[in-house]
Amino acid sequence: MKKRIFSGAQPTGNLHLGNYLGALKNWVNLQNEYESFFCIVNLHAVTLPQNPEVLRQKTLDLARIYLASGVDPEISTIFIQSDVSEHAELAWILSCIARMGELERMTQFKDKGKGNAERAGVGLFTYPVLMASDILLYQTHLVPVGKDQKQHLELSRDLAERFNRDFGETFVVPEPFIPPVGANILSLQEPAKKMSKSDENANGSIFLLDDADTITKKIKRAVTDSGTTIEFDEARPAISNLLTIYQLMTGKTPAEAEAHFGGKGYGHFKSELAEAVVEFLRPFQQRVKDFDDAELNKILKDGAEKARLIACETLRDVYAKMGIVGAET
Ligand code: ATP
Ligand code: LTN
């Protein structure tokens, strides 16, 4: 039997190159080798305020982006989190197992809650528990994510191990899959931060649906470090980040990418990089338009049905082990 993969993204904001290179690209590469579940995590999205109409639209848009990236609905399961109510049910159980202390240590809560726990939503605090529920429901072996999710994955593992110890072997303990290159694409404007959907400065991120002009402008405006050479250098995160993007867009090795720009200046480098990104995204942007609403809906409905079968089985086992029973019917 094939091992299983689970991953997801939130239908908030617009997906950027970091989301693609850190996550979606690896989903596509791994989907033949693993039985794969890719979820649109709309229940996670509402941990911060969302406009209902926009959320509804973004949920379907994200499904299109999964498909345009190359997730193949013939071999992978694509579904919307809220279509499988077991996610919320298991999250409740896991929240009774998780400890306040371990959630307080989650850096994403500190960032997204802006350090003000008094005002932050409880859902934002328990966000990683819902994420653990997503993963553990499917007896997942591998979770392909960007580097920012590593701490959440560790919590999922801890919760699985704790449950297994207290109630008997129930969950597979998942491993993270964090790609060696591209797991932490940085903002083009503030290279101390990751490229982010929720960044107020749109110039920091290249969105997957940006047009050629916008991409070129953003790359031209990207900050660079002091120095003139185009080389990977830990002390020069801005130029290293741009080179990483170039490397991943063109499939060149780091040495090939550096050699390609030997003796060239920043201006030349940025023009070539912009061209490479535009060319890379062109077929993707074309594919986003390929699916009509009826086709999309069928994929999501079938996906939810397949997901529900596994989710139900796991939740039933969890309830039985804990002695949670309802009235006999
Ligand atoms: P934001 O970009 O606003 O921080 P997020 O992390 O909440 O958004 P999701 O849509 O939930 O975004 O993330 C989807 C995937 O993209 C996750 O696996 C995450 O680790 C990955 N990811 C997000 N930002 C980056 C980045 N800058 N570089 C690499 N991977 C990233
Ligand atoms: N927290 C993730 C999104 C997410 C996820 C998951 C990723 C929710 N549930 C399960 C992998 C597995 C994020 O990227 N912000």
Q: Which ligand is nearest to the CA of 146?
A: 1
How far, in Å, CA of 271 to CA of 69, rounded? 25
What is the atom index within ligand 1 of the atom nearest the CA of 8?
14
Q: Of 78, 94, 27, 20, nearest to 303 (Cα)?
A: 78
Host H or E run for residue 70: none
User: 155 CB under 6 A from ligand 2?
Assistant: no
Query: CATH number of 4-178+292-322: 1.10.10.10, 3.30.70.330, 1.10.40.50, 3.40.50.620?
Result: 3.40.50.620
Domains 4-178+292-322 and 202-288 are alike in CATH topology = no
Q: Which of 71, 145, 178 to mutate to test the pocket of ligand 2 (most atoms within 8 A of CB)?
A: 145
What is the atom index within ligand 2 of the atom nearest the CA of 146?
14
For 73-94, write each residue's pLDDT tens digit.
999 999 999 999 999 999 999 9
Written out in words, the top-level CATH class of the domain with range 202-288 is mainly alpha
Q: What residues act catalytically? A: 112, 194, 197
How far, in Å, CA of 92 to CA of 89, rounded? 5
- For the chain, give every domain's residue range: 4-178+292-322, 202-288
For 221-273, write each residue's pLDDT tens digit.
999 988 889 999 999 999 999 999 999 999 999 999 999 999 999 999 999 99
Query: Tokens 């060239």 label which residue?
Result: 264
Q: Of 208, 202, 180, 176, nearest to 278 (Cα)?
A: 208
Mean pLDDT of 169-193: 97
Q: Which ligand is nearest to the CA of 12?
A: 1
pLDDT higher than 90, residue 25: yes
Q: How many CB atoms lie within 10 A of CB 100?
A: 8
pTM over 0.85? The answer is yes
Name the band, by pLDDT with cuts 50, 70 and 90, for residue 116.
confident
For 207-226, write each residue's pLDDT tens digit.
999 999 999 999 999 999 88
How far, in Å, CA of 45 to CA of 239, rounded? 32
User: 45 CB under 6 A from ligand 1?
Assistant: no
How far, in Å, CA of 68 to CA of 119, rounded? 38
Taking the CA of residue 55 as centre, how many other CA atoms within 13 Å lie in the half-sphere pointing to its CB?
16
Listed in sequence order, the residues at least 6 apart from 78 whose beta carbon sits closer than 8 Å to its beta carbon are: 38, 39, 40, 63, 66, 67, 71, 299, 300, 303
Pairing of strands 76-80, 35-40: parallel
